[in-house]
Amino acid sequence: MEKQQLNRFVSKYNLAGLVESVKWESKEGSLTTSFISDDKSVLGNVSMKEFDGTDTTFGVYDTTKLTKMLAVLGNDVDFTIQDIDGKAVSLKFKDGSTSVNYMLADLSVIPNVPDLKQLPPFNAQIKLDSNFIAKFIKAKGALADENNFTFTCKDGKGQIVLGHSNINTNRISIDVDCTCEGDVEPISFSATYLKEILVANKEATDATLQISSQGLSHIHFEIDNYESNYFLVEIQS
C-alpha cells in the first residue's frame, strides 16, 4: 500500500497531535476510527473507504509515535497486522530494506467515544470553501493565543470572529456565506481544533459547518477515499 494513504487517514483524526489514543477497526474492506480529545471539546470519526486489511479491531495508543516511525519508510510499503491467538498485537510495515514494528495497545486503555445518536437542531449552516479554509488558518496563525472562535449572525449576515469581546481587542472578523434561522447569539468553539481540522482536510473544495445554539457544531468532509465527521462542543466564555 501507499504510506501516504495511511498518513492521510491518521492526520484527519490525530489533528497535529491533539488526539492520540484511538481504536482502529478494519472491517469489510474499510478502515474506521472514532475519537475524542482529552478535554472532550471535539469528537468524531474518520473512514478510509477502501482498505486492504483483515477484519479486526485494535488500539493505537500513541499515534504521534506511529507517525514518526512511519516517516523512516518509503512510500511503497507492505503492511500486515500481526496477531497472537486471534488478537492483534502489532502493526508491521516494510519498504524493502527497512521494517517497522509498532506495538498495539489493549482496548481497555483507549478512551470510549460517546455515540451521538440524537443531534440537536442546527440553526446555522456555514459554507466552508477553499478561500475560507485558507483565510481561517492564516487568521489563527496571526492570533495564535486566541484559543476560541465565535460565530454570530444578525439580519442574515454571519461572521466568524477570533478575539471576540465586548471591549476593544485585537480581533479578526471573517464574513461567511451562511444560512441562519433567525439571529444567532454569539457562540464560541475551539479555534485550535477547527484550525487543525481544516489543515487536515485542506484539499477539500467545499464543506459545511453546522452550528446549533444548543452548544454543538458539526463539520462533514468527503474527499475521494476519506470521509470525516467532527463535532465541536461549545466553549463557555
Residue type, 144: A
| Residue 43 near residue 114 (C-beta atoms within 8 A) | yes
pLDDT at 54: 86
For the record, the C-alpha cell of 28 comes out as 469489510
Separation of CA 135 from chain center: 18
pLDDT at 116: 85
- List, for residues 27-70, the tens digit of each pLDDT value: 999 999 999 999 999 999 999 999 988 899 999 999 999 999 99
CA pair distance 31, 27, nearest whole angstrom: 6
Nearest to 172, CA basis, from 187, 183, 159? 159
pLDDT at 206: 86
CA pair distance 101, 139, nearest whole angstrom: 40
pLDDT range class, residue 93, cuts 50, 70, 90: very high
For the record, the C-alpha cell of 159 comes out as 461572521
Which helix (H) or strand (E) segment holds residue 137: the answer is helix 130-142
Mean pLDDT of the chain: 95
Q: Is the confidence at residue 6, as pLDDT, over 80?
A: yes
- Per-position b or e across 68-86, b if 16+ CB within 10 A of its CB: eebeebeeebebebeeeee
Q: Does the CA dihedral 127-17-73-60 come out positive or negative?
A: negative
Block residue for cell numbers 496571526 = 142
Residue type, 83: D
CA pair distance 230, 84, nearest whole angstrom: 34
pLDDT at 63: 98
Average the pLDDT over 167-175 and give the result: 95
CA pair distance 174, 60, nearest whole angstrom: 37
Inter-CA distances, 151 with 51, 55, 161, 162, 203, Å:
37, 42, 6, 9, 24
Percent over 90 (pLDDT), the chain: 92
Q: Which domains does the chain have, with CATH numbers?
A: 3-109 (3.10.150.10), 124-233 (3.10.150.10)
pLDDT range class, residue 197, cuts 50, 70, 90: very high
Query: The pTM is what?
Result: 0.95
DSSP category for residue 2:
B
pLDDT at 107: 96
- List, for residues 126-152, the tens digit of each pLDDT value: 999 999 999 999 999 999 999 999 999
DSSP 197-222: HHHHTTT-SEEEEEEETTTEEEEEEE
